[in-house]
Chain A
Amino acid sequence: MTIDEQQKQLIAQFQLLDGDMEMALQYIMELGEELPGITDEERSDENIVKGCQSKVWLIASLENGKIQFKADSNTAITKGLVSMLVKVLNHQRPEDVLSAEIHFPEKIGMNRFIGTQRSNGFASMIKQINYYAVALSTEKSNA
């Protein structure tokens, strides 16, 4: 699936929840559960996304020219939020990640779940993903 298709699917899922806050939180936490775990070693300060109020660890690697993301958080809801980003951007080419327009947070009304202050944290996650994509696209072209 393309990044846009992934976003469309996520938005459709949230539309089914019909704005119910509890159902949305439940769904977000379930998405978090789907994230592949990270090792204790990977849970290092180096992999922490700066600017998030909760702790978020984000790791990226290149496999067959596509980015593999791994992530974790110390809170279940934030883990779900980062999981959505990973779901949308995982297994994509670095250049596609960089050129992607991430519009699903707005469409699913994410500010309701994370608050204005925390949306800065979400922006930090996207920034970190872009840093990885830039670094990995350089790695790819040097390979």
Chain B
Amino acid sequence: MTQVAALDVSTIRKEFPILNQEVNGYPLVYFDNAASSQKPKSVIQALVDYYSKDHSNIHRGLHTLAERATSGYEQVRKMAQTFVNADEPEEIIFTRGTTESINLVAQAYGRKVLEEGDEIILSEMEHHSNIVPWQMVAEEKGAIIKVIPVSNFGELILEEYENLLSEKTKIVALNYISNSLGTINSVQEIIEKAHHAGAKILIDAAQAAPHLKIDVQELEADFLALSSHKMYGPTGVGILYGKRELLEYMDPYQGGGEMIKEVHFSGTTYNDIPYKFEAGTPNIADVIAFGAAIDFVERIGHDTIQTHEKELLEKAMEGLNQIEGFEPVGVAKNKASVISFNINGIHSYDLGMWLDARGIAVRTGHHCTQPLMDRMGLEGTIRASFAVYNSPEEIDSFVDSLSQIIKKFGK
């Protein structure tokens, strides 16, 4: 077994300038990491350096700056390839984020393969961004959406999944880790079964990327989407991984510069992958800073991150379980550092506001997973989600604050 290095949280925290501030007179406790994580200095510096020294448009220019910008941009494609262990860099497409990656597959692959009566399998715990793009293409093509149900523990009911699979299943689209509950799904097994039925599968890895090592070859994922901003990188950038033969089979998603070989009014020929899917000037600066985020995660290592976050999760659960009225939502065996819960008799919005008054940032509401909230019979939850820079002291302060706030409601 490899030795996992212990994490020095106070040193890590120094890398995140935003954490060093007071909110409403209290030290900021940022527990909204599942929505978006904060950025280390290296990522912020990469943006400043790029615009201060290297900016130019990419791929077209001959001059020195164009060359610097292009090589910086393409270097990150290779880093992203290694990050998800893709076979080749051409299988990495830069997008605006997970949402755009999923829309790209729904439009460029879904629209091409789906016929009337074909089926798409999703799960009850998907983020809206992995539901709506499929509803749009299903409506257009007359395809049918089938849904894997979720148990009371917040786990997928895999027997039901097997029953849903048939020769009609063309696409399965599923999250790796649930953003609302933190459940880590058995994607390997799910992928294997999808392939057995002859379907292709897309994995929404937005929540997985900051927490665990992704290996698309080991998983044999057909498509995998993730966002930079959830893994310490800038907003507005993400990737779509796709197997070469699938990306080559797909038609372009958007037209414009970059994505063409030759344009004539008599006809246009498209560029090769990945450029075929990157129309227009891309988000060069943020892609380059995304490279710094990949560096950051790899420097600390997923094993170390996971060990630290697991400790935070266990400590938080221990503390919260002492609070009367604490009702956890989603208690899967295999969980990332996300706790969704309610306090009996108090609305999540009220608690969210009071926590904010004490400098503690959590998320309240349906977390863009309304079907899951419907399934659980809830309007919403409070979600505390932890990242590498969160400390055990912050967990204490969160649990203490919550106990004190609850008293204000006469509980």
- State the A residues within 8 Å of B (CB): 20-22, 25-26, 29, 53-54, 74-78, 113
Contacts and interface: CB of A to CB of B under 8 A. Distances in A.
Contact of A25 (B346, B347, B353): B353
B409 interface: yes
Nearest to A24: B357
Given A21-B24, A26-B408, A77 B353 contact: yes
A21 B356 CA distance: 9
Contact of B347 (A21, A76, A113): A76
A113 B353 contact: yes
B349 A21 contact: no
B357 A29 contact: no
Nearest to A112: B24
Interface in B206-227: none
B168 to A, nearest CB: 39
Interface string B346-363: 110110011011100000
B408 A77 contact: no
Contacts of A22: 24, 354, 357-358
B404 to A, nearest CB: 10
B342 to A, nearest CB: 13
Given A20-B25, A22-B24, 16 more contacts: A21-B25, A21-B356, A21-B357, A22-B354, A22-B357, A22-B358, A25-B354, A53-B349, A74-B347, A75-B349, A76-B347, A76-B350, A76-B409, A77-B349, A78-B349, A113-B353
Contacts of A53: 349, 365
Interface of B: 24-25, 346-347, 349-350, 353-354, 356-358, 365, 408-409
A54 B408 contact: no
Given A21-B24, A26-B408, A29-B408, A54 B357 contact: no
A8 B89 CA distance: 65
Contacts of B24: 21-22
A77 B346 CA distance: 11
Nearest to A78: B349
A75 B350 contact: yes
Contacts of B358: 22
Contacts of B357: 21-22, 25
B29 to A, nearest CB: 15
27 contacts: A21-B24, A21-B25, A21-B356, A21-B357, A22-B24, A22-B354, A22-B357, A22-B358, A25-B353, A25-B354, A25-B357, A26-B408, A29-B350, A53-B349, A53-B365, A54-B347, A54-B349, A74-B347, A75-B347, A75-B349, A75-B350, A76-B347, A76-B350, A77-B349, A77-B350, A78-B349, A113-B353
B351 to A, nearest CB: 10
- Most chain B C-beta atoms within 10 Å of own C-beta, residue among A54, A74, A75: A75
A54 B357 CA distance: 19
Nearest to B359: A21
A26 B408 CA distance: 8
Contacts of A77: 349-350, 353
Nearest to B380: A53
Contacts of A54: 347, 349
Nearest to B349: A75
A16 to B, nearest CB: 17
Contacts of B347: 54, 74-76
Nearest to B358: A22
Contacts of A25: 353-354, 357
A43 B109 CA distance: 48
Nearest to B357: A21
A53 B352 CA distance: 14
Nearest to A75: B347
B348 to A, nearest CB: 8
A78 to B, nearest CB: 7
A110 B96 CA distance: 34
Contacts of B354: 22, 25
Contacts of A21: 24-25, 356-357
- Most chain A C-beta atoms within 10 Å of own C-beta, residue among B25, B356, B357: B357
Nearest to B353: A77
Contacts of B346: 76
Nearest to A23: B357
Contacts of A78: 349
- Most chain A C-beta atoms within 10 Å of own C-beta, residue among B350, B356, B358, B409: B350
Contacts of B349: 53-54, 75, 77-78
A26 B356 CA distance: 13
A53 B379 CA distance: 11
Contacts of A76: 346-347, 350, 409
Nearest to B379: A74
A6 B410 CA distance: 29
B36 to A, nearest CB: 16
